[in-house]
Amino acid sequence: MTAPTDFDARYVAVHGRDARFDGQFFTAVRSTGIYCRPSCPARTPKPENCTFFVTAAAAHQAGYRACRRCLPEATPGSPAWNLREDVAARAMRLIADGLVDREGVPGLAGRLGYSSRQLGRILHEELGAGPLALARAQRAQTARQLLVSTTLPVAEVAHAAGFASLRQFNDTIREVFGLTPTDVRARARASEARTGAWSQAAPGALTLRLPVRAPFDGAGLMDWLGRRAVPGVEHIADGAYQRGIRLDHGPAVLTLEPAADHVLMSARLTDLADLSEAIARTRRLLDLDADPQAIDAALATDPLLAPAVAAAPGIRIPGSVDPAEMVARAILGQQVTVAAARTAVARLVANLGEPLPAALATEHLTTLFPTAAAIAEGAHHAVRGPRARRAALATTASALANGDLVLDPSRTVTQATADLEALPGIGPWTSHYVALRVLGAPDILLTDDVAVRAGARALGLPDAARGLVAATASLAPWRSYLMMHLWRAASPTPGDTDAHS
């Protein structure tokens, strides 16, 4: 559901303790100096004492601290940043990915095509805080999660959360939460509010609970990822998905186990400083910041879709942890079955993949997906099939490797698809499939996809491209989620449907 933007509607949501808007706006109370999520169980403040903020960072800058009762930092991120494509939304996605910590504000501004001063003005106007304050709030959120969920020493928590110094960490935690880091941890233990455990068995391993809005079709995500899992790179067993990934400071291994209202993430990292990036990648991979109630309510307005929505509430878009990997999967998945695409991708990995370090490797996880540079150099001999497809793979990977093609949260769907389709061998199906998986674009409908048409027929919708677009126009901007239902309806054995790799 779209978050209210005017004062009266927001106050109604707070008075009704409406959890649907948790993470989408925050209520600051002048008489207490704290800010809360809309569903805070405390007594509703008087209207004259309330100020509403779009971000926690804006509340911090205004001098408010986080409520110790409702823990507004422990909510999923706002779905607006995935739905919107303006500068502020794209900046928020990059900040969540830890870009400011790695490249500073000039790096963030450069990715978005603005000067640092211009970007700061835009973010202050739209979000109530500048990029440094927004990044600081992100670090505070990560730090709190580590303090209450792990037994990491405080100095290591500061490093893992991205703080430049222990002093900066201590000052931020006191300012945001009104407690010292030690007190934050002690209160959590005293109230039995710990949300995970640090794995003592493997140095560098952390286990955290990542919040998610219910309903959450985690089982559907595990099925999707499992049917496409590449041996050595990914493994799924007992409802948990594992894989190796590259992060800024080195390789990592993630284990993701979905539950009704959270995903349990276990991460073994080369460097704890990569934790924020690992969390951001996981949230994108599993679409954890989506607003399922709004999406399901919109799709269910179509009587032909309502039964499918009821059968699979909280369906999500499976994302990606690496743009180069998803481009390769998309190109190798053109006009073939899922099984055939998986075989082709597995061959690419066997020929060009990089071994996981021995400290991270397991029986089932041995290999990192090839880099864009490796694919560009070796695609012609590592991949079978039509010469044009191999050339498209090599050319696109080369463009990614040398920076001519950028596919990250700084790009809009229009920019990304246009850049992809400018390359030889890349058509609309491939470009929009990449946008779906890499950018989490919520309104993609691949009308030429064989399985999409089969699913449309199964649900009683038109299967011709023009008819399907017309019949589903009212479901914008959620047609990516519609497409997930169509793919599911295409066959009782989804792994056998065509053309979605």
Round to whole Å and give the CA distance between 181 and 158.
10
Which secondary-structure segment (H or E) carries 83? helix 80-83
* Spatial contact of 238 and 371, defined as CB atoms under 8 Å apart: no
- Assigned token pair, 269: 């990292």
Task: Exactly one of 36, 40, 50, 70 is catalytic; name it.
Answer: 36
Task: Exactly one of 274, 291, 322, 449 is catalytic; name it.
Answer: 449
**Helical pair 116-127 and 87-96, crossing angle rounded to 10 deg:** 100
- Catalytic residue flag (residue 6): no
Residue that the structure tokens 């490796």 belong to: 374
Which secondary-structure segment (H or E) carries 296? helix 292-299
- Assigned token pair, 156: 């290591």
C-alpha neighbours within 13 Å on the C-beta side of residue 141 = 27
Distances in whole angstroms, Cα of residue 344 to Cα of each of 164, 213, 386: 44, 35, 12
- Catalytic residue flag (residue 50): no
- Assigned token pair, 272: 């704890």
The three-state secondary structure class of 473 is helix
Secondary structure of 135-182 as H, E, C letters: HHHHHHHHHHHHHHHCCCCHHHHHHHHCCCCHHHHHHHHHHHHCCCHH
The three-state secondary structure class of 247 is strand
- Assigned token pair, 376: 């560009």
Hey, which residues are catalytic here? Answer: 36, 449
